[in-house]
Amino acid sequence: MSFSSDVKDELVKIQADSLCCRHAQVYGMLLFGRAFSASSVSLSTENKNVAENYINSVLELTGIKPEFINRGGRKITVGITSKVQCLPVLEKFGHGSRELSRRINRANFSSECCFSAFLRGAFLSCGTLTSPEKNYRLEFVVPYLKLCGDFVKLMEELDLKPKQAKRKNSYVLFFRDSETIEDILTIMGAVNSTLELMGIKIHKDMRNMVNRKVNFETANITRTVEAATVQIKAIETIINKRGLDFLPDSLREIAVLRIENPDATLKELGEKLSEPISRSGVNHRLNKILEMSKEI
């Protein structure tokens, strides 16, 4: 089961309290379905619960029962194929048989609460949501340009600003911001999915923070080891060529400490000196040793 399917399973269980919202939700499912015309009213989906909800909801509001057209394979198609039955369904939502383009008829919204129900119906028909474990992306695939434009205006009234793209013969409205996706899920009523998404996001943020910290510490250790290797080689060169007594007392002590503590940081070396000094002081002395080694 995908995250998108889980969201739809949650949405189909929502029972709108008012008839106007049930009407708006069914209208969203019909309008953004596979077909909504005088010759065919249908929906294609991969979710069996959405298909059954479509059948029951259309039957409840119109008295006409959609049938399963195709139940095999990945897609399930349900709908009404009789022209005699299609027209009453269209008229129920204020549409006629001679419409040249599919548009949103706002007469189907009695109050502001109907917008949320309509959005829920549209998502059940043409919406998808990528698993937040992988990426944040919620999209609506709309089949008609003017319908897409109407939908954008409606979303903007809900303070939602979708990005737009064209995919083959369809128009895609999508969101990639996790907070906006959380808002959309909440507006549609998918509270449990919203909480799950927030939990996944927190987990991902913590995991990324830990990874950044580990990478940072690993890089520091690598730099320390590489620097220590160069320093030890320089000290060994001086010992082999001139002897350890060649170094002044202050440099001799830090040289011995570096050989005895190859993994120690500059700060740790400074603290081990008979008279502790700062990290920059240790770095200065070791650089002096490197210069002497180069001269030799």
For residue 1, pLDDT beyond 80: no
Per-position DSSP letters for 197-226, written without gaps between them: HHHHHHHHHHHHHHHHHHHHHHHHHHHHHH
CA distance 293 to 296: 5
C-alpha R_g of the chain: 34
- 3-state secondary structure at position 192: helix
Q: Which two tokens stand for residue 135?
A: 């990426």
For residue 238, pLDDT beyond 90: no
Alpha-helical (H) ranges within 74-112 are 83-92
Average pLDDT value for residue range 43-70: 94
Least confident of 24-33, 118-127, 236-245: 236-245
Residue 243, pLDDT score: 85
Average pLDDT value for residue range 69-85: 88
CA distance 67 to 82: 11
For residue 72, pLDDT beyond 80: no
Average pLDDT value for residue range 70-74: 77
Mean residue pLDDT of the chain comes to: 91
Residues of the chain with CATH 3.10.28.10: 3-189
Average pLDDT value for residue range 17-35: 94
Task: For the domain covering 3-189, report its CATH number.
Answer: 3.10.28.10
For residue 73, pLDDT beyond 80: no
Residue 147, pLDDT score: 95
Instruction: Specify the pTM.
Output: 0.75
Residue 6, pLDDT score: 95
pLDDT in tens, 152-198: 999 999 999 999 999 988 999 999 999 999 999 999 999 999 999 99
pLDDT in tens, 89-142: 999 999 988 877 889 999 999 998 899 999 999 999 999 999 998 899 999 999
Q: What CA–CA distances, in Å, run from 292 to 133, 230, 279, 282?
A: 55, 13, 20, 16
CA distance 71 to 64: 20
Q: How far does Cα 13 stand from its chain's mean position?
A: 24
